[in-house]
Amino acid sequence: MADQPQSPPTNAAAPLPGEGIGLSAFPAQGVPVFHRFNRLGLWTLYMKEVRRFFKVQTQTIWAPAITTLLFLVIFTVALGREGRMVLGVNFATFIAPGLIVMGMMQNAFANSSFSFLAGKIQGTIIDYLMPPLSNAELMIALVGAAVTRAVLVGFALYGAMLLWPGVHLTFAHPWAIVWFGLMGSIMLALIGLATSLWAEKFDHNAAVTNFVIAPLSLLSGTFYVIDNLAPVFQMVSRLNPFFYVISGFRFGFLGQSDIGDTNMAVMHGAFGLGVLNLALALGLYAVLRSGWKLKG
């Protein structure tokens, strides 16, 4: 009859899930939400890492400043007596920039080398792998947090150095301070992140710190100019990337460096560090993408 409700045709398309209830904006299962760059996710992970080390800032920021100031006191008292001059300045002023950037690099390594390692040991590595972050975004967030800690430590160290009588730090070449400080911090952050991928326990991390990072830092011209070394050891020093970071950073304050006799030599060192960091970043990205020691 005409007044009876009509049944829908049997071949009518069934409503899609979510239609009519305000959920049609949700993508189908398996369709990625972030097609290009997840800025919010990257920022969230970055802030999580920053807040992690900032909660214990006495240990992660201020303690390195006090420890490095003790290095300055000890070496100044032991080697800086009788008005000893190096590169045209007193010994305390000479070693101060190297101690600042050395502390920055060591703390960048300490921060990034803790991330994945702590997650693997505590069973929370899934917190890094499950969020909708690409490998590049994950790497940028973790390295960025490590560099942030390095910069904060650098400011704390600079303030501590100014407390010691005889230290006079001026900004001869600000670009060199910024460039070499950032390149050194990024280099150690990348190495630290690679270490946290490889390490399976804290002993492995400590081994890299004690047998690789510390020797390269201390034997990089922090407390001397390499012109005082034998030619063979000068060549070995020039193969150490830490040497270029420390000497270039010192050049930013003093206007002089043992990298070479000209400013162009410092520029070559700055370019070389940039290329090295790019190579380290690409290698680390490839390892992250493979899931080595993280997945499966």
- Average pLDDT in the chain: 86
Outline where the chain has alpha helix (H).
Answer: 39-54, 57, 63-79, 91-122, 126-129, 135-162, 174-198, 202-208, 214-218, 231-238, 241-254, 263-290
Q: Tell me, what amino acid is at 208?
A: V
Q: What is the mean pLDDT of residues 197-210?
A: 92
- Chain centre distance of CA 137: 15
Question: pLDDT digits over 18-77, tens only?
Answer: 444 455 566 666 555 656 788 999 999 999 999 999 999 999 999 988 888 888 888 888
Please, what sign has the CA dihedral across residues 30, 36, 37, 40? negative
Question: pLDDT digits over 111-150, tens only?
Answer: 999 988 988 888 888 888 888 899 999 999 999 999 999 9
Q: What is the mean pLDDT of residues 207-232?
A: 90
Residue 155 has pLDDT above 80, yes or no: yes
**Element at 90 (helix H, strand E):** strand 89-90
Q: Taking Cα atoms as reference points, which of 183, 174, 175, 177 lies closest to residue 241? A: 183
Q: Report the 10 Å Cβ neighbour count for 233.
A: 12
Question: pLDDT digits over 156-197, tens only?
Answer: 999 888 888 888 889 999 999 999 999 999 999 999 999 999
